[in-house]
Structure 1
């Protein structure tokens, strides 16, 4: 291989990263979104294992390097759809992971299948590094530039094409990369290029790979009911929206409706996102009488105190909370919904069914992320209603434990309270889980937010009630009056809802209607308002520490101290008590370490070539680069989520900017003849990271009102110098090995892949426990270790 196939490298890398992003969507539809961590580590494992294969087989591969590269690209094209198709045939059920001894083995099988396409991609790119190491900077630049384009491109394509069809399109792109490689490498036989072009056309014409949803997802359960049928389906990167109707067994969705209610809901359609839900799209013709059932929900509590309020609904979905506001006579309703497909379904496809709900006088709908909308808004409201956004099944099973949610952090509640008019109220409704988790953590978060806003006695501004299925918390911009407390008690008494907390409440007023063994909610509220709050939080069986923007994991309830006790109850129905998504992430880390040891480290340790490989400094150098790069990238993606006010924009912009500007840094490093490039780049990166930690929160808050294009440009400009510095160490190290120990390049590629496997999962575990700021600080320390290791290079 005389000249690297730069264009083919860029296309191949674009395919690999686009496939990685796509798999997160496919697994969100088939299972649940937190399998993204498994996918990322599987990708990096494939890269690492390819480095090991190159180290052990380099002499054999070198003689046929062109054919091997082309074969790797073609194999990637075949394996991307087929590996996913085969993975779906494995009867893996994550809900049984902790008590079915066969499930871990099935998870490992899925993990290894997902690794295969990335192995092929890593084999092709690693082979070019091994044979053309002197041009490492240019190779690395094309590699990560292609990855950046792939990550951005696939998100754009997902707005136009459903995920299953994108999978076959990526296969076509990989065949195109193989065809271009035949030409770039000047292989003697040209007919493979024609064959790959034909296969690319065939792949584009193929139907999408079917996605089999877990039978335990809400949509699967709904479609098992006789008469249920899908009437509409829309797809975007935000999710697959499915609308279901049932003329035989009508949907009656009214979360936590009072058992005293005598009026049933009107006909409804079920709206599911990625198979989770439903939310209800109710038939509405302008007549408010059929909406009387909305008066029987705990979410109606604020209307017992406020009359015709100006309302902001966050997470409007299909419009239930908007209908509730209309029922109570609100004349000014702002509704915020992130998913444009949901808005379009209500506004256009089901316009007549929904009674033109989102275009009624006084109703204004905004397609925006809730937290970002509130931060940028200058309006004040009498009521801010945070809708019940998730399903009971996923919430109670702990499926959101790894979800970053900026809706329920201390800073979020502070932002909501700052948008309330004097005497206004914030209302948040959550599912009731036993023993109490969500409700008490939300209560603790509200107490902390009030205290940070300077309220000396939060107890006088809080009310919490519970029904048999839901809990509603009120936080007032001012103290509750005696008249308002009376109205709240009358509201609860008429509907048999229990008071969990209100100012001046006596213990005997708790636990009257939906009786528990003890008044857990009241006792928890008292403890969280008292001087022993910290001791209560520390000793509680579930993690109740308020979420913050630095640790935005509101749904993390797992406590290691209680894990053994809860696991012992698994055969007595105790598994729903265990927030199993957090242990799953830890298990993924252990599985990644095990698989990496077997596929990357063990073959190297047992092979004859171990005697010729460089020593510990080189290993630490490439290990540190892999860990630190993943730490910084993952942490700063989260830092930009709040500023860009849209999770898709944040991921697309930050990931693409990191990779594109790292490519530029790599290219510039290759053109520089300086001998101390790595220390300089690391020092600059460390200074920027620490500076950003201090400055970005203030800067973002000041500029949150900027239009989206301006914020995207600013974000890219902020990322540029940091990413350029991060693009220097890897190609510089590879180039030095090419000069002195060329045979060690595949080994370094394997070590870096191993570090990235561990780093992707470890960064999230550390962020959950310590916060993203700590992850960035740890990355700075690791980069300092890289500098020390670089000084001892051979």
Structure 2
């Protein structure tokens, strides 16, 4: 065989990583985000299983390299479609997992189904390293370069195709890789590549009805479509989400979060707008008459408009436009609306323009497509009111299904940015759902107090107001002290609408918890404690974690404390389980499962290989295992941490993932190709590469917080170029330790090459989960520091 199938390897790696990213989108649509994350992690154990398989059956597989490689790629293309479709039919409901015995088994069935495509692809990739051990750096460079381009390619494809058609494309790519391998290896059956290329067209011919997405019946979209003749009237897809518009002619939608029970005006006709089947918001019918919007004055979010006159307003997360209409109804002089998803704006302004009245084209309104923090960082404007819209659905929030979602809207640094963009006397207003026992609101209150303390405000207690309705609460933070006249207007506003005043400067205990009465005045008590001298004691004693989120630990929706778990489980018969933040226990369970599976996949092949060989091993298996595990963990830790750090700089989560992940993989591939040219013997080469990784990463930890604020106002193309330039040297060096170690191992004992490859793969799966757990508790900076310790350990363990 004259050469390895390098381009087929790159295409197959691109298809596999594209499938991984696409599964996260698909599973977010049919289930929820954190279950998608869990299943991806477990499914990627297919890579570790492939290492074990090739290590145990190396001789037979290498002897039939071309048919096995092509067969693995072909089976990946077929199973990528078939296994996802079967997984949809399992009928798994995560909300029943603790009391329905069949649900864990159904979850296991989904794991096993999603495991298959990765096992097929990884077997072909790993076999390439076993068949050509002397070309490890070259193979690894094509493998990882292909993965980087696959990441970029699938995100680009999701702008042009819906998720199901993108899945077809991934299947076709896998089959095309099989044909390409036969051609590159010049196999002696010339008709086979033609046949395989013809097979690559099969996914395009699969009927749409077979591939249709089937969201969980407990998602809001599924519930809406159960109503009478409700139907989907428009749908738009992008990497940011699947936006669906639903109409119900016979039973009209009435969505008015936090509407006062004293309200006399009903909402106008509405259409439901959902993203990934959740996060319900309303598209209001507006014909230009102000009277039709009267209900917007009876929401808790209307409070700041009763304290300001003709304010200049910034709406963050404007969505379908209800908050813009609220500003117009209350006589705002100017409105800047910021929305991340351009397709939502397109639906409001174009597809449903006759229904919506085109609120973004109203006099004084200017719409901006972008991320909230990035817009503010680049804007010199100051506002009388900054309004953060109610962005997520009540059902998923109350069920703890957002627990692992990072959010940079509610961090201490974000509050500081908001306050810096207020005019003197201006106000920041944030509305959240009322969750009982209180979680969101105490954390929001604590974050505001921490941000003002960081800004040097001498008495934060004089600048805060909190009101509560039956379903929503609104926190108002003022740039300046609240005056007696404003407190009077606040009381009048709440009295007329039966809203509870939970905090204002000088409030007395008897004034709180009067209308929507709770057993205890928990919101008032929390506000007093967070402003008092025993703040740390309150945060420590509270049954939920309500400490302020930061940019380094941006998990605002993570409220879980282990000590509360027994009480929540004991209350399950009384409905206590919705208080459990599902994401965190699921993540811990994933870590345990992934670690157990990894140990089995690493240990079993080693025992078998040692029994087969009577001679003493040429290299220490323990040192070898430690080295490749440390390199795999360290690489993933650094990659995940820096993706998060670049999200704010690039001002767009999608750009950050696409640019950072692609740049890391591509430059790591180039580093792999250059690795053999590093002067010195293998161990010295590894030490130089790891020393470079540690030096550059430490430099970035110190310098990036200073550099990013200086450059964040630059245009998008310039920031992308800067991000790539910053990632390049770090990723280039990170691409060296793995191929150098594998090349050195191949020179001493090539039978251990697939085993070592599998260790690296297993470690990567564990690292993806462990990095998130570390970030939740200690922050992403600690994740990087732990990664550098792992790299240092790898340098010491290098066999």
Same fold (TM over 0.5): yes
Aligned mates of 2:93, 2:453 — CA distance in 1: 43
Aligned mates of 1:747, 1:296 — CA distance in 2: 65
Q: Please give the residue correspondences for 1:308-457 in structure 2 after superposition, counting only pairs within 5 Å.
A: 308-457=310-459
**Alignment match of 2:501 (pick from 486, 491, 499):** 499
Q: Please give the residue correspondences for 1:499-648 in structure 2 after superposition, counting only pairs within 5 Å.
A: 499-605=501-607, 608-609=611-612, 614-648=620-654
Note closer, same or farther for the CA distance 1:651–1:146 as it changes in structure 2 (3 Å cut). same
User: Secondary structure at the residue paired with 1:129?
Assistant: helix
Are the aligned partners of 1:108 and 1:591 in contact in 2 as well (CA < 8 Å)?
no
C-alpha displacement at 1:331, in angstroms?
2.2
The answer to whether structure 1 residue 755 and structure 2 residue 763 are counterparts is yes
Aligned mates of 1:605, 1:282 — CA distance in 2: 66
Aligned mates of 2:621, 2:229 — CA distance in 1: 67
The answer to whether structure 1 residue 708 and structure 2 residue 696 are counterparts is no
Aligned mates of 1:224, 1:652 — CA distance in 2: 37
Q: Deviations over 1:611-652 (max 9, x none)?
A: 758421111000001111110000000000000000100000
The answer to whether structure 1 residue 111 and structure 2 residue 119 are counterparts is no
Q: Which moved more, 1:649-658 or 1:667-676?
A: 667-676
Q: Which moved more, 1:359-368 or 1:102-111?
A: 102-111
TM-score, normalised relative to structure 1: 0.98
Are the aligned partners of 1:30 and 1:211 in contact in 2 as well (CA < 8 Å)?
yes
C-alpha displacement at 1:97, in angstroms?
2.0
Q: Deviations over 1:23-67 (max 9, x none)?
A: 000001101122342244234311110010011111211221111
The answer to whether structure 1 residue 651 and structure 2 residue 657 are counterparts is yes
The answer to whether structure 1 residue 35 and structure 2 residue 41 are counterparts is no
Ranges in structure 1 where 5+ consecutive residues have no aligned partner: none
Aligned mates of 1:741, 1:278 — CA distance in 2: 58
Structure 2 partner of 1:229: 231
Are the aligned partners of 1:335 and 1:365 in contact in 2 as well (CA < 8 Å)?
yes
Q: Deviations over 1:292-338 (max 9, x none)?
A: 10111000000110011000000000000000000001120000000
User: Secondary structure at the residue paired with 1:425?
Assistant: strand
Q: Please give the residue correspondences for 1:87-98 in structure 2 after superposition, counting only pairs within 5 Å.
A: 87-98=87-98
Are the aligned partners of 1:462 and 1:503 in contact in 2 as well (CA < 8 Å)?
yes
Note closer, same or farther for the CA distance 1:225–1:631 as it changes in structure 2 (3 Å cut). same
C-alpha displacement at 1:516, in angstroms?
0.4
Aligned length: 791
The answer to whether structure 1 residue 12 and structure 2 residue 12 are counterparts is yes
C-alpha displacement at 1:598, in angstroms?
4.2
Are the aligned partners of 2:439 and 2:546 in contact in 1 as well (CA < 8 Å)?
yes
Structure 2 partner of 1:782: 790
TM-score, normalised relative to structure 2: 0.98
User: Secondary structure at the residue paired with 1:243?
Assistant: strand
Are the aligned partners of 1:620 and 1:786 in contact in 2 as well (CA < 8 Å)?
yes
Note closer, same or farther for the CA distance 1:602–1:89 as it changes in structure 2 (3 Å cut). farther
Are the aligned partners of 2:5 and 2:184 in contact in 1 as well (CA < 8 Å)?
yes
Are the aligned partners of 2:43 and 2:111 in contact in 1 as well (CA < 8 Å)?
no
Q: Deviations over 1:238-260 (max 9, x none)?
A: 00000001110000100010000
The answer to whether structure 1 residue 693 and structure 2 residue 695 are counterparts is no
Structure 2 partner of 1:745: 753
Structure 1 partner of 2:492: 490
Q: Deviations over 1:352-382 (max 9, x none)?
A: 1111211111010000011111111110000
Aligned mates of 2:379, 2:119 — CA distance in 1: 47
Note closer, same or farther for the CA distance 1:563–1:242 as it changes in structure 2 (3 Å cut). same
User: Secondary structure at the residue paired with 1:523?
Assistant: helix
Note closer, same or farther for the CA distance 1:135–1:470 as it changes in structure 2 (3 Å cut). same
**Alignment match of 2:734 (pick from 721, 726, 731):** 726
Structure 1 partner of 2:122: 122
Note closer, same or farther for the CA distance 1:604–1:104 as it changes in structure 2 (3 Å cut). farther
C-alpha displacement at 1:105, in angstroms?
2.5
Q: Which moved more, 1:32-41 or 1:594-603?
A: 594-603
C-alpha displacement at 1:603, in angstroms?
4.9
Are the aligned partners of 1:219 and 1:277 in contact in 2 as well (CA < 8 Å)?
no
Are the aligned partners of 2:637 and 2:784 in contact in 1 as well (CA < 8 Å)?
yes
C-alpha displacement at 1:93, in angstroms?
1.1
C-alpha displacement at 1:600, in angstroms?
4.5
Are the aligned partners of 1:40 and 1:760 in contact in 2 as well (CA < 8 Å)?
no
C-alpha displacement at 1:572, in angstroms?
1.7
C-alpha displacement at 1:187, in angstroms?
1.2
Are the aligned partners of 2:43 and 2:112 in contact in 1 as well (CA < 8 Å)?
no
Aligned mates of 1:37, 1:589 — CA distance in 2: 12
C-alpha displacement at 1:610, in angstroms?
7.8
Are the aligned partners of 2:11 and 2:174 in contact in 1 as well (CA < 8 Å)?
yes
Aligned mates of 2:212, 2:590 — CA distance in 1: 26
Are the aligned partners of 1:41 and 1:756 in contact in 2 as well (CA < 8 Å)?
no
Q: Which moved more, 1:400-409 or 1:689-698?
A: 689-698
The answer to whether structure 1 residue 212 and structure 2 residue 203 are counterparts is no
Are the aligned partners of 1:37 and 1:760 in contact in 2 as well (CA < 8 Å)?
no
Aligned mates of 2:91, 2:221 — CA distance in 1: 19
Q: Deviations over 1:253-284 (max 9, x none)?
A: 00010000111000000000000021000000
Q: Deviations over 1:144-198 (max 9, x none)?
A: 0000000001000100100011111111111111101001112111222111111
Structure 1 partner of 2:304: 302
User: Secondary structure at the residue paired with 1:7?
Assistant: helix
C-alpha displacement at 1:402, in angstroms?
0.3
The answer to whether structure 1 residue 682 and structure 2 residue 698 are counterparts is no
Structure 1 partner of 2:54: 54
Structure 1 partner of 2:85: 85
Q: Please give the residue correspondences for 1:90-169 in structure 2 after superposition, counting only pairs within 5 Å.
A: 90-169=90-169
Structure 1 partner of 2:676: 670
C-alpha displacement at 1:750, in angstroms?
1.4
User: Secondary structure at the residue paired with 1:261?
Assistant: coil
Q: Deviations over 1:543-586 (max 9, x none)?
A: 01100000000000000111111111112210011111111111
User: Secondary structure at the residue paired with 1:688?
Assistant: helix
Are the aligned partners of 1:374 and 1:415 in contact in 2 as well (CA < 8 Å)?
yes
Are the aligned partners of 1:20 and 1:39 in contact in 2 as well (CA < 8 Å)?
no
C-alpha displacement at 1:430, in angstroms?
0.1
C-alpha displacement at 1:98, in angstroms?
2.6
Note closer, same or farther for the CA distance 1:609–1:93 as it changes in structure 2 (3 Å cut). farther
Aligned mates of 2:44, 2:163 — CA distance in 1: 22
User: Secondary structure at the residue paired with 1:159?
Assistant: helix
Aligned mates of 2:680, 2:271 — CA distance in 1: 66
Aligned mates of 2:514, 2:762 — CA distance in 1: 57
Are the aligned partners of 1:621 and 1:786 in contact in 2 as well (CA < 8 Å)?
yes
User: Secondary structure at the residue paired with 1:226?
Assistant: coil
**Alignment match of 1:238 (pick from 237, 240, 260):** 240
Aligned mates of 2:673, 2:477 — CA distance in 1: 54
**Alignment match of 1:265 (pick from 264, 267, 277):** 267
